[in-house]
Chains A and B, each alone.
Chain A
Amino acid sequence: MSKPDKLQSAAEQLGPDGLSDLRSRAAKKFGATGFPTTRMEDWKYTDLSIASDISVAALQDFRTDLPPSYEIPDIDAHWLVISNGSPQVGSFSAIDGVEVSLLSEADVDLQFNLPLSDLNLALLSDGLRLTVDSGVNIDKPIGILFFDDADTESLVSQGRVIIDVSKSASVQVIEFHATRGDARKYANVFVDLNIGDNARVDYARLQARDPSAVQTARLSVAAGRDATLRHFALDTGGKLVRNDLAIDIAQTGANVDFNGLYLADAMQHVDNHTRVDHRVGPAHSNQEYRGIVKGRAVWNGKAVVHEGADGTDAQQANHNLLVAERAEINAKPELEIYAEDVKCSHGTTVGQLDENAVFYLRTRCLDEEQARRLMTHAFAMGVAHRCPIDACTAWVDAHVDAALNALITEDAE
């Protein structure tokens, strides 16, 4: 960003409160590094200049008084709303077994490690910390809604949530991203999920921002001993979307399963980066991402098996369907292995619908469009069905249907 002073003064505008000092340090740090560029290996295929432009514009006339505006999704959950970057405390109702607090009032140690995290902290009005008590089984999913809707021309919003799931607890979490209104929006969201020993988390990240929105989001997971994570991510919205999922396995017996579906329409760019660090074994990780791409998509999956992490079983799969002439996918399935007793594999494919299958369906009376629609849908649902939270299933099905129809119908034009 060209104006570090603007960032600094915006950071000051947000205080004074418990985060003031943090904001100021983060602003200074981000002022020095700026946004990642495509010269960096991790950002090779995703250019954030548009995020930078929106941020610069938003900082020209930085406002801390944006009124809340949001729409709760039709999913049965305990909803916690963060609107335009501000937690809407008034809207929270108590959840048995879960303590919810504001980051400005909580005693947490926030790390400075990535430029986007610095940006997030510099402009963070406030964040949430959720603590799930040990041994509890929360009755219904906890939904965290990131909703952006402002009457300004450009809006930059930061979201930050820390979720600590105590020992042997079991919880379902929905991270939901949506927008409304005409502002040029850039949202930058960080979620830290710490799964305690023997705890279990089902997690769904559902992203349905409007087609002009820009998002960068990172979910960092630390898995405890014998912890279980089942994760599913769906991206249908946004003009430029970059998601990072980083899973750190530093205790034995963890079992993580993470999956995702991305639909990138002609003008969309969707980038998913996943990284799993196996620091000890035995532990198991398994991931499958699928994409239906008309615009541009990036998938980068990395499994690192550190020295001594024997007994690691890490599997990766990524499958892409290109459905338009100009579609583009950049896929990079990486394995970095420093241990011996490991079972690792990855498989990536890029292709089209199986013409034999299309033909087969046509011989069974379907017309070609029906056949393609059916198969594309089946391809998407093959991974969408892995969404671990039943309460989301209906929403996911309907939403994927609608998004696919839009994608395919335009195609027919």
Chain B
Amino acid sequence: MLDIKNLSASVGGAEILHDLSLSVGTGEVHAIMGPNGSGKSTLAQVIAGRDDYDVTAGSVTLDGEDLLELDPEERAREGVFLGFQYPVEIPGVNNAYLLKAAVNAQRAHRGLDEIDVFEFLKLAKEKMALLGMDQKFLNRGVNEGFSGGEKKRNEILQMAMLEPRLAILDETDSGLDIDALKAVAHGVNALRSPERSIVLVTHYQRLLDYIQPDHVHVLSGGKIVRSGDKTLATELEERGYDWLKEAANG
């Protein structure tokens, strides 16, 4: 599904990702862990196409298609979803409007007709029920005045509506209390499918108690320094990251 080969990226002249390679198979769930400043969020943003970052080397492909050539919205329509660490507030624009516009942009890209209002509402309500979300959510401004937990849930709702091929969830667990975390994890688990790959970017092992990854990678200093199965996460929880940094440097 997702193939990253020898990727280097920098922002304002400072290189953040160095020669990073990662391969995520269809239907797999990968967790990318690492200390603060290791480049986790940069990786997520580069895949989604944030133009503040300069890709200086390497390639990123989705099912063989070059993602780096595409604008952010084209990547999104191709099925790349980024769950933001800090979902953005857009005053005055209601959630339902954004969701419908996004769904229709994607449908148009696939050559499908626009979804009508009734169908849309039916679908949205279904997905919201799945996530245990109040329907009032739809009429509120996008993330406007939302609590941290509401914002993250809203991200999962958008993911559920857009049904991406590849979902990258950037620190979806940060700042959540345990109930919100469970709700979000439940939502993500419900969206696991053999056709969908999920990349969880996280600082803490806690999330992985609720979403079992197939593979765990450790990112440090802009590259993947170790990969393994879910037991690696447990090891990290016990030993911290320092031993890996040392291992990487030594």
Task: Check A-B contact in the complex, CB < 8 A.
Answer: no
Taking Cβ atoms with an 8 Å cutoff, the residues of A that contact B are none
